[in-house]
Amino acid sequence: MKRSLKLLWRGLTGLLTYLAEWFTVILGMKDESKYGIILRRTVGTCFAILMLMFTGMILWCVVGEYVCNHVCNYVEKWVESGEIPPYGNEDLSPALCYHSELEGGNGFLYLRDGRKVLKGIDWIVTPDGSDTLACYSDGKLRGYFSILTGNVVIKPTYKHAWVFSEGLAAVEDSGEIKFIDPTGRVVFNPHVRYVPGEGNYVFHNKGCVVTDKTGCYRGLIDKQGHYVLPATYESVCYCDSFWMANAPKQHLVLNQQLDTVLYVENSTDLRIAEEHEWFEVTMTDHTLRTYTFQGQLINNFYIQSVNKLMYETNEIYYTTQREYDVDTEQYVETQDSDPSYRMAVANCLTYESAGGWYGLMTPAGKIITPPSYRLITAHGPDLYLCSYDGYDVGVLLNSKGEPVE
């Protein structure tokens, strides 16, 4: 091995030396002095390296495409031979894997020994929980296969189908959403019209979101196909083991048993504050309320933050800076030419309720104004500009919350 490397190195250096001498001859460099020899060798070596790089680029342009095609053909034959696929693999179960392709329709299932059990797959969606049937598409229709064996259980016969959840799967049949069991038998038909782009029709804790005929409003059905929540809500979502629904100015929360936990009117938003383990409800007047996960009221006027308000006084002062003077080798103080105004603390505080809504309060915690303003700035110890839009439109109030004319 070492002998071969030495021979290769001698061949390359010999070729480089020959090319360098050839270039110097072409350029007419015949100076035999010590300086001339060094210059000749340097110039010749540079030209030789450039020539080798140029030759390599030409060879890559000519041969590179052939090499890439050859490698791709080799990989394709490797995959078709049934051996372990090179990339794009996903474990579906201890016995089954899925190989996806960049181009749709070429994916396939294979066992651990490399044997393919299902070809021509465009995409798959695997189930959660104890369900074992995955939904897949052959590029035109959708069906189901077992993630344990890879065998097709329900052949691709549906234009639209969803993954199994809690033992049931939704399929579109004649423009309606129907629910089937793992044998393909229709269990119930809630008479819900299929609306493209609306709903994923998956069960969570015995509930599934469905839409009305217009696709604008949503409700909730149980595993028997009965409505536990009429399709009259703008949105219904599953979050942290709760179902949350909202209609104009009202919010509803259901638990895992689909029982009502919380119902609030005159509200604009409801969220789960996971760090505190409670519900935060934003009311139409921008106040916040908090409830336990059992629906009990904790606080009907929840405040997120409290801050001091500062204003400019008429007292002027000049700031000074301490700098090192190189000439005197001493530190000297310099005064800014522009004056500054001293700041003071106003008599009222500002508090934040719902995100971005503020009000005035006393230092003792007494609420002076509701959280009706986007921005509050102090312009004196008892003068506050309360803006509705966060800019200049607002009202001037005193420390009692009274308008100042």
Mean pLDDT of 163-172: 95
CA dist list (Å): 394 to 9, 18, 105, 309, 374: 83, 87, 61, 17, 9
3-state secondary structure (DSSP) of residue 336:
coil
Per-residue model confidence as pLDDT tens digits over 301-313:
999 999 999 999 9
Instruction: Give just the sign of the alpha carbon dihedral 76, 82, 85, 90.
Output: positive
3-state secondary structure (DSSP) of residue 273:
strand
Q: Residue 288 is encoded by which pair of tokens?
A: 């916040």
Per-residue model confidence as pLDDT tens digits over 50-103:
666 756 666 666 555 555 555 445 444 444 434 444 446 889 999 999 998 766
Query: What pTM value is reported for the model?
Result: 0.64
Domain ranges of the chain: 89-253, 254-302, 305-397
Task: Quote the mean pLDDT of the chain.
Answer: 83
Per-residue model confidence as pLDDT tens digits over 113-127:
889 999 999 999 999
- Give the integer Cα–Cα distance in Å for 10 and 114: 47
- Give the integer Cα–Cα distance in Å for 318 and 338: 7
CB 161 within 8 A of CB 177: no
Q: What is the dihedral of CA 171, 176, 180, 184, to 10 degrees?
A: -70
E-assigned strand segments in 36-165: 89-91, 96-99, 107-111, 116-121, 123-125, 133-137, 142-146, 152-158
CB 344 within 8 A of CB 383: no
Q: Using H for helix, E for strand and C for coil, what is the string for 188-216?
A: EEEEEECCCCCCCCCCECCEEEEECCCCC
Compute the chain's Rg from CA coordinates: 38
The letter for the amino acid at 134 is A
Q: Name the more confident of 111 and 32.
A: 111
- Give the integer Cα–Cα distance in Å for 340 and 182: 77
CB 303 within 8 A of CB 353: yes
